[in-house]
Structure 1
Amino acid sequence: MAFTAKDVQALREMTGVGMMDCKKALTASDGDMDKAVEFLREKGLAASQKKAGRIAAEGMAYAAVIDGVGVAVEVNAETDFVGKNEKFVDFVKGVANVVAKENPSDLDDLLAKPYGNGRTVLEEQQEMVLVIGENIKVRRFARCTEGVHVPYVHAGGKIGVLVNMEVSAGLENNAEVLNAGKDAAMQIAALNPRFLDKSQVDQATLDEEKKIMLVQMENDPKMASKPEKVKEGIVNGKLGKFYKENCLLQQEFVKDNSVNVEQYVTSVAKAAGGTAVIKSFVRFEKGEGIEKKQENFAEEIAKQLGK
């Protein structure tokens, strides 16, 4: 019995197995869908379907410059142990290479791109699930082609940072300027600024901060009786502190708190005979925003023992 591309897609959706393996299964089963599913189960391939629903909040965040393209990716796994697995790390780096080479438009497009070994990224991801035995998911990526890129990976993949800089001619490979970019990347990893520059703070965020500050003053007996104009002045003064805490360029440089990050980068470039400006940054922290499953180890053991 013949089969179509739609049959291959249907089998893929049913089992979570890669396209090529689904084709093999349908060929071996003469197009019979039930037999094809049984074929995949016998081969141990359909097991990836069960793993696909499990929470993956560990893994690795990674940043690199590949053929002049700045790339940051996050790939998740279920346990921290897998994040150190050599095959998993190679897969993460392979995904970064695909991002650099193929310029995907979004995550779905990335998963459909060729991984470089005859499989797509999605099929290679499913292969990793089968080989490693955990749910593995490519979660997000960033790609930058303009300017100079400085990557930094913290704690073996807990945080990946990519800093993009605009530098004057001749400073593209200057060691001191690149080191300044790395210093900024390390500060981003440590302090997690919400914005690049104070000019990027949206009005809704400012309004919320002002509201919180005014409520705090209302709850302070010493401040509550002050005129509204005085309170507004105090609030505007406190916003300066907000910028210093939340905006990278206005943050005090951690290695020298007499200057902020913007001043530090500017001074390094000036000493090198040119200019440098941080234009953007990406910070991926593995598992950020993913609700982790809370396990009760004693209860789990009791269940296994049938108690």
Structure 2
Amino acid sequence: MAITAAQVKELRDMTGAGMMDAKKALTETDGDMEAAVDWLRTKGLAKAAKKADRVAAEGLVGVMVKGGRGVAVEVNSETDFVAKNADFQALVRSITDAAMAAGDLDALKAAHVGGKTVEDTLTAAIATIGENMTLRRMASVEGESVAAYVHNAAADGLGKIGVLVALKGADAGIGKQLAMHIAATAPMSLGEADLDPAIVEREREVQTQKALEENAESSKPKPDAVIHNNIIPGRMKKFLEEVTLLGQKFVMNPDITVAQAAKDAGVEITGFVRMAVGEGIEKKEEDFAAEVAKVAQG
């Protein structure tokens, strides 16, 4: 199949690979973007790509903690200008407050804010502010103590990234440090048992293919038993340490893991939420010439 320049650009943006390498990867995989990422990784030409790196939605994440419950909600807008609007910020804050008593997104939409449902309140705000807005998702955690952190804060409890951490045990300050760590590292899961098996299997396939190719090109190839019993398990162990919260090196003290940091502080991490504005949403991009032409046409 014919590979377009747009496909090559998207793959380069995702992986940081060179133009010719990206084009070859797409050619070898018949334009399958995820397979092309894996192909580049087996050749040592790219790191694992995250779909969250390709987001472009605007809006705010609101977080709130009351007692042993914390909630996070995401409200999207068309432009970043609205995210800086005081009325929009007040809206997101009121929806976040309503989420404290809601069990899920549908319940939140039906909850009442100022005498109207959240859904109706959002509709009215769209008419007032003049821009489309969407209540996209909510998440919550519960624990003996819950800590929160907002990154790139637009106002108190509102920002581009919101994090909640649920702990068993008294939080003497470690909670916020853990939340800041999560904001920075974006772990995929709490521990290995919580990680999507499909993600683990895909990584194992990539590492297996990569190890076999490296061994085939080596002047001193290793026995298959060494590849399958030592090298691949070692690489998978490193992968799990990088993507699971408990296995990661603690950003505040890289000499220990997050699990050890929590243990030293006398707490156990029982859950977390990391919500970033626009995760998984890809915004259609128009070339500049087409955009100018559209404006000129009115």
Global fold match (TM > 0.5): yes
TM-score by length of 1: 0.71
Which residue of structure 2 aligns with residue 109 of structure 1? 107
Which residue of structure 2 aligns with residue 250 of structure 1? 247
In structure 2, distance between residues paired with 1:290 and 1:241: 29
- How far off its partner does 1:237 sit? 1.2
In structure 2, distance between residues paired with 1:204 and 1:223: 34
- How far off its partner does 1:294 sit? 1.4
Matches within 5 A, 1:252-267: 252-267=249-264
Larger radius of gyration: 1
Contact 1:148 1:164 in 2 (8 A): yes
- How far off its partner does 1:301 sit? 3.2
Contact 1:142 1:282 in 2 (8 A): yes
Which residue of structure 2 aligns with residue 166 of structure 1? 168
In structure 1, distance between residues paired with 2:116 and 2:177: 38
In structure 2, distance between residues paired with 1:255 and 1:280: 20
Q: Which whole-Å deviations, capped at 9, do the CAs of 1:4-45 have from their partners, x for residues lacking one?
A: xxxxxxxxxxxxxxxxxxxxxxxxxxxxxxxxxxxxxxxxxx
Contact 1:66 1:97 in 2 (8 A): no
| Secondary structure of 1:60's aligned partner | strand
One-letter code of the match for 1:138? L
Residues 1:300 and 2:298 are matched in the alignment: no
Structure having the larger proportion of residues in strand: 2
Structure 2 unaligned spans of 5+ = 1-54, 154-158
Once the two structures are overlaid, the 10-residue window that deviates more, 287-296 or 74-83, is: 287-296
CA 1:223–1:250: 2 relative to 1, 3 Å = farther
CA 1:286–1:224: 2 relative to 1, 3 Å = farther
Which residue of structure 2 aligns with residue 142 of structure 1? 139
In structure 1, distance between residues paired with 2:219 and 2:71: 49
CA 1:204–1:284: 2 relative to 1, 3 Å = same
- Count residues in correspondence: 236
Which residue of structure 1 aligns with residue 277 of structure 2? 286
In structure 2, distance between residues paired with 1:94 and 1:110: 11
Structure 1 unaligned spans of 5+ = 1-54, 270-275
One-letter code of the match for 1:285? A
Which residue of structure 1 aligns with residue 177 of structure 2? 183
Matches within 5 A, 1:1-307: 57-66=57-66, 68-101=68-101, 103-104=102-103, 106-115=104-113, 117-156=114-153, 157-167=159-169, 171=170, 174=171, 177=172, 179-220=173-214, 221-222=217-218, 225-232=221-228, 233-269=230-266, 276-306=267-297
One-letter code of the match for 2:141? C
Which consecutive segments of 4 or more residues in structure 1 shift more than 4 A? none
In structure 1, distance between residues paired with 2:236 and 2:180: 25
Identity among equivalent positions (%) equals 39
Q: Which whole-Å deviations, capped at 9, do the CAs of 1:91-112 have from their partners, x for residues lacking one?
A: 11111111113x23x3222211
In structure 1, distance between residues paired with 2:219 and 2:63: 47
Contact 2:64 2:97 in 1 (8 A): no
In structure 2, distance between residues paired with 1:200 and 1:306: 52
In structure 1, distance between residues paired with 2:67 and 2:236: 41
In structure 2, distance between residues paired with 1:304 and 1:238: 52
- How far off its partner does 1:250 sit? 0.9
Once the two structures are overlaid, the 10-residue window that deviates more, 297-306 or 69-78, is: 297-306
